[in-house]
Structure 1
Amino acid sequence: MSNPERPPVEVRRSARRRKTVSAFWEGGTAVVAIPARFTKAEEEHWVGRMVERLESSSARRAGRRSDAELMERALELSAQYLGGRARPGSVRWVTNQSSRWGSCTPSDRSIRLSHQLEGMPSWVVDYVIVHELAHLLVAGHTPEFWSHVAAYPRVAEAKAFLEGVSFATARGLNDGTGAA
């Protein structure tokens, strides 16, 4: 049952547990508690169902959008602020960006957003998306680039928010997620 997209899973069988199945996070591991009498097929069914439920619940609590939702939002923002001219090929979360909030590769029209943005206010994430969309129109941080970004109404506020998070993180005042 190894799925590279799934978190590590630990199954705990209990002789005391008769009917109920539960799941919870323990560190980064999804723990699924099932009755000891379950067959392997029942175990697989319930583990899949419960891990999906855990991930969905965690994503909702964190305000996380799926990659498909990020793409949809990017297209909405492009239409609203950039005349629909910036059309990404993909928009996705990544975990390997710790010094940038986002990045864009114009040649394949891909946009990557740091997982550290998850749980931040939606207007901050929208700013980062607009910033990266603008790179699909202008590669560098030129005056023309910034004029595209300036169409987003909360640029100064979002930049200040991200600078505050960076400042706090650099001094160990928070865990890097935007939560003090």
Structure 2
Amino acid sequence: MRDVLRSMADTLPGKFEITGEGIVHDLISPNGHHELTRLLLRRRLEKVMPDALLAHNGTPVLEDEPESILRHPDVMVITWENLDTEGSIDPRDVLAAIEVVSRSNPDNDWVGKVRDYALMGIPVYAVFDPRTGTGAVFTDTHPTPAGPRYATRKDFVYGEDVTIADWTIPTRGLPLYGPTK
């Protein structure tokens, strides 16, 4: 599947990921509000994290070869040392994954990534939804017959402070998506 993904990525617009269910193609590129939210979250996290950690929002991707999952979080908290790698990042080196919900494919962030990030061993997954001004932080993975799942979900609304792993950041001033044209 990885080879198919590489060939499509060079010819089709959008972002591609591999899940347990197949290839996810987010056809629409992130808009300005999505990108601004990503950057604000990264900056706010880096203000409260120790210098040994980075809130990274670029490449490379996270890849769990045994689970056949390849994901590209909007922001991931990782050590500088673990970012210094050839190829993809081992998801077990990621302390937290953060997603800004896509207007075009919200189930990818609210359903697919909740499942996949737990399977990949990521201890904390935070979702920010500019469609509604709400979000949730998922923690405490536990085994289930379908594989690891997050046991705890803490919902928040924009304007509240939110704790992601050991770091608390404000959500005031995060942009919301406007009406669809």
The interval holding the TM-score normalised by the smaller chain is under 0.3
TM-score scaled by length of structure 2? 0.27
Structure number with the higher helix fraction is 1
Whose Rg is larger?
Answer: 1
Report the structure, 1 or 2, having the larger strand content.
2
Q: Which has the higher contact order (CA 8 A, sep 6+)?
A: 2
